[in-house]
Chain A
Amino acid sequence: MKKIAKEALPMLYKKIAEAKELIIPVKVCGQTNYKVWTEDAEVDLDTLKTVKSAKDAFFPQSETLYTVKKEDKKLHIEPEALKNQEFVVFGMKACDVQGVAVLDKVFLVDPVDSFYAARREHGIIVSMACHEPEETCFCKAFGLDAAAPAGDVVTWMVGDELYWNPVTKKGEDLTAMVAELLTDADEKAVEAEKESIKKIVEKLPYSNLSLEGWNGSVLDEKFNSPIWETLFKPCLACGTCTFVCPTCQCYDIKDYDTGHGVQRYRCWDSCMYSDFTMMAHGNNRNSQMQRFRQRFMHKLVYFPANNDGMYSCVGCGRCVEKCPSSLNIVKVIKAFEKKEEK
Chain B
Amino acid sequence: MSINNNSEFKPKIVAFCCNWCSYAGADLAGSSRLTYPADVKIIRVPCSCRVNPMFILRAFEKGADGVILCGCHPGDCHYTSGNFYARRRMTLLFSMLDYIGVENGRTRVEWVSAAEGVKFSATMNSFVEKIYSLGKNVRLEDLRCKN
A–B direct touch in complex (beta carbons closer than 8 A): yes
Give A residues with C-beta under 8 Å from B: 67, 256, 258-259, 263
Report the bound CA distance from A258 to B63 in whole Å.
Answer: 10
Number of interface residues of B (CB under 8 A): 6
Nearest residue, chain B, Cβ from A265:
B144
- On chain B, the residues within 8 Å of A67 by CB distance are 147
Residues of A contacting B62 in the complex (Cβ-Cβ under 8 angstroms): 259
Contact residues in A for B54 (Cβ distance below 8 Å): none
Chain A residues with CB under 8 A of B142: 256
Chain B residues touching A, majority SS: loop
Binding site for A on B (CB under 8 A): 62-63, 142, 144-145, 147
Across-interface contacts of A258 in B (CB, < 8 A): 144-145, 147
Q: What is the number of contacts between chain A and chain B, taking CB atoms within 8 Å?
A: 11
User: 11 interchain pairs (CB within 8 A)?
Assistant: A67-B147, A256-B142, A256-B144, A258-B144, A258-B145, A258-B147, A259-B62, A259-B63, A259-B145, A263-B144, A263-B147
Chain B residues with CB under 8 A of A263: 144, 147
Q: What is the distance, in angstroms, from B142's C-beta to the closest C-beta of chain A?
A: 8
Residues of B within 8 A of A259 (CB): 62-63, 145
Closest to A69 in B: B147
CA distance A258 to B143 in the complex (A): 9
CA of A256 to CA of B144 in the docked complex: distance in angstroms? 8
A259 vs B142: C-alpha distance when bound (angstroms): 11
Q: How far is the CA of A258 from the CA of B146 in the complex (A)?
A: 8
Residues of A near B144 (CB, < 8 A) are 256, 258, 263
Cα distance, A75 to B147, chains bound together (Å): 15
Query: Other CB < 8 Å A-B pairs besides A258-B144, A259-B62, 9 of them?
Result: A67-B147, A256-B142, A256-B144, A258-B145, A258-B147, A259-B63, A259-B145, A263-B144, A263-B147
Cβ–Cβ < 8 Å partners of B63 in chain A = 259
B14 to chain A, nearest CB (A): 13
